[in-house]
Amino acid sequence: MGAYRPRGRTASRLQLSAGPAAADPADRRLLYGRRQGPRLRAEAKRLLDEVLPRVEFSLEPGAPVDPRRLFPTPPQEIWLEVGFGGGEHLAAQAERHRDVGFLGVEPFVNGVAKLLRAVEREHLSNVRVLMDDARLLLRALGDGSVDRAFILFPDPWPKLRHHKRRLVNRNSLAELARVVRPGGLVRLATDHADYARWMLAAALAEPDLAWAAERARDWREPPADWVATRYEAKARAAGRRPVFLELARRALRRSAAVDST
């Protein structure tokens, strides 16, 4: 069995810059944090050697990606999770929805190995993994090619000078709004109060997304089909209350709707 060797310098969490670099269409990776955590055990190495090649996909510079063509049989829907961590949420949703194709983006090797364990154990043929910068995938995806998108408990980067590293920002939400079909969903979650306010401000500034909450419990309580993870359990045990933001992709821009009246 060959040893798994990370390809290049990447990170544990995909962070999209909120500054000019995020709007630059050049293929430039911008990732912060660790690429790999504790030393990989033999089983994790085996999964990376044997299972990863069956589910991993890569990006060709400048080439578009049709997500349905990544699967032997085109799935009914495509769901995207950016920064899936240990893959608990992604694996559980993939097991529940075998007719949906799941794209998971996560460059942290240890987290990918955990997902691969579930892929092998549950025979999840509807999962595909990208170990790269999520910005590159978002640029390659066509308009309306994704039905749901998830960014759950990303690194809050609490220091003011690091806010530009936050994954959820106006630029990333604008890209998600483009690739999610009208009527589709973008689901965000965090246990960091300041990041929750930041996320909501970015969401309200995006004209193609509508916040679906009507009452406090809509953002204090998880959606009906929510999958809790160990990270969320740790946050609650520490006294941090998660915030859940569900955004619907508008059928029309608000400005267009006003013009048509």
Active site residue 155: yes
How far is 102 from 128, CA to CA, in rounded Å? 6
In contact, 104 and 81? CB cutoff 8 Å: yes
Q: Which H or E run includes 172?
A: helix 170-179
Token pair recorded at residue 255: 């400005």
Burial of 151 (0-12, 13-18, 19+ CB in 10 A): buried
In 108-258 the beta strands, taken as DSSP E runs, fall at 127-130, 146-152, 180-190, 209-211, 243-249
In contact, 130 and 139? CB cutoff 8 Å: no
In 66-177 the beta strands, taken as DSSP E runs, fall at 77-82, 100-105, 127-130, 146-152
Query: What letter would DSSP give residue 65?
Result: B
Provide the β-strand partners of residue 246: 187
132, 133, 147, 155: the catalytic one is: 155
Which residues touch 20 (CB under 8 Å, ≥6 apart)?
Answer: none
* R_g of the chain, CA atoms, integer Å: 18
Q: Which H or E run includes 111?
A: helix 109-121
Kindly state the greatest CA–CA separation across the chain: 65
Query: What letter would DSSP give residue 121?
Result: H
Q: Which residues are catalytic?
A: 155
